[in-house]
A and B are shown apart, each in its own frame.
Chain A
């Protein structure tokens, strides 16, 4: 059984562990779980929500009924979400490609291995020039893109899942919208 003394100490410690105290610290901690914000619905982001409404109005066209307007909004929402995911992936690729010092974890591990080998009592024969070139060279051009694709595969796959879901949502939203349109024109003809 836990002693009274231990319980008191735990409670005292818990009082001191209340997370960040400053506004800046609290703001930073509030973003801990946020990586790319792609899991947030577009409607919870004011700027995107406005774009959704504009696009939905364009899709529905003038004089659309409430059902068509709602279905158009679903198409617009999926479309804006898709654009957001693609933009995030593109931004990630562009930022990583423009990072001059980018190298994959595997290459960095290899560099560290070589340096460790050189620090041993009987190091392998290697000129300073070759060593400098080996340690400081980073992949360039298409090789850099290939390194990024390999090194960041997990992140890119995660983004791809969001893209796939948005595409699927949009496909069914378009089909529902078209069906509603057809029903509407059929009713008008009758």
Chain B
């Protein structure tokens, strides 16, 4: 557990009433952060003054359901984002296939490393030179490359495919991180091909529509049950209900609520990129 998580747990443990444990441990799925859950519970408890066990029961319920809402939104976002990025990777592989110049430098590096790892030890030093000779993608260089690769039991087409896939993966990672050069290159390639990230997003939605609908339904059910618990608190103690309602809005608005469908992709022009 990180230092930040430890601190979160300490804060949470201090501000959560002991009796809340009666309502069972938090129901977290594999990979979910227990400290973040405790922090959410602590924030809710800090927002209101609990009077009786039923208040505590309803608070524990609101927290559990809010956690569920955030979980389903996060899962939906990740699913769509992964599909968009996969589509972008495939698009880039296609671009590299039709335009060798786009990944020439990368291929030279990739080839040098491949040769260094596969050539006999006495020839490994010449890997750089050999890669420089074989990389230009001319008929003569390709013939030489084919001979070299066959000697180490590799196929030229497989090596080219793997190199293109590796370069596409690298470029997508840089694009997601918002690296200016990568963002500019990706947007240029997309524009030249008449494609856009929106096309990939639409395709991802179409491909995953069934599961997205299912996740949306789960999120809606959790949301409506959370709201019902809020209404119940409001009916019992109007002031408490109002404070809790505000607290839920804050949580959805800040870092907890980043499960909303905001795809973590650079802006279209890439001007804000680092």
| Inter-subunit contact B19/A153 (CB<8 Å) | no
> Which single residue of chain B is at the shortest CB-CB distance from A163?
B225
> Which single residue of chain A is at the shortest CB-CB distance from B25?
A87
| Inter-subunit contact B30/A94 (CB<8 Å) | yes
B27: interface (CB < 8 Å)? yes
Residues on the A chain within 8 Å of B24, using CB: 83, 86-87
List A residues 163-186 near B (Cβ within 8 Å): 167, 171, 174, 177-178
A38: interface (CB < 8 Å)? no
Known contacts A87-B27, A97-B29, A171-B232; is-contact A149 B52 (Cβ 8 Å):
no
A114: interface (CB < 8 Å)? no
| Inter-subunit contact A149/B23 (CB<8 Å) | no
Residues on the A chain within 8 Å of B225, using CB: 167
Residues on the A chain within 8 Å of B218, using CB: 149
Q: How far is the CA of A83 from the CA of B57 in the complex (A)?
A: 11
| Inter-subunit contact B23/A142 (CB<8 Å) | no
Segment at the A interface, from B2-10, B74-82, B94-102, B169-177: B74-82
B: contact size bracket: 20 to 34
B171-214 vs A, Cβ < 8 Å mask (1 yes, 0 no): 00000000000000000000000000000000000001011001
Residues on the B chain within 8 Å of A43, using CB: none
Q: How far is the CA of A53 from the CA of B225 in the complex (A)?
A: 26
List B residues 229-245 near A (Cβ within 8 Å): 232, 236
Residues on the B chain within 8 Å of A75, using CB: 54
Partner among A59, A150, A167 whose Cβ is within 8 Å of the Cβ of B214: A150
Partner among B29, B54, B57, B64 whose Cβ is within 8 Å of the Cβ of A86: B64
Size of the A side of the interface (Cβ < 8 Å), in residues, is 29
| Inter-subunit contact B210/A150 (CB<8 Å) | yes
Partner among A54, A141, A149 whose Cβ is within 8 Å of the Cβ of B215: A149
Known contacts A58-B53, A90-B27; is-contact A143 B214 (Cβ 8 Å):
no
Known contacts A86-B27, A171-B232; is-contact A142 B53 (Cβ 8 Å):
no
B22: interface (CB < 8 Å)? yes
Q: How far is the CA of A153 from the CA of B215 in the complex (A)?
A: 11
Residues on the A chain within 8 Å of B57, using CB: 79
A118: interface (CB < 8 Å)? no
A135-154 vs B, Cβ < 8 Å mask (1 yes, 0 no): 00000011101100110010
Partner among B53, B210, B215 whose Cβ is within 8 Å of the Cβ of A59: B53
| Inter-subunit contact A97/B214 (CB<8 Å) | no
B152: interface (CB < 8 Å)? no
Residues on the B chain within 8 Å of A90, using CB: 27, 29
Residues on the B chain within 8 Å of A141, using CB: 78
| Inter-subunit contact B53/A171 (CB<8 Å) | no
> Which single residue of chain A is at the shortest CB-CB distance from B30?
A97
* B153 to A: closest C-beta gap in Å: 14
B228: interface (CB < 8 Å)? yes
Q: How far is the CA of A79 from the CA of B22 in the complex (A)?
A: 10
| Top 7 A-B residue pairs of the complex, sorted by shortest distance between their CB atoms | A90-B27, A146-B211, A142-B78, A58-B53, A59-B53, A142-B75, A83-B24
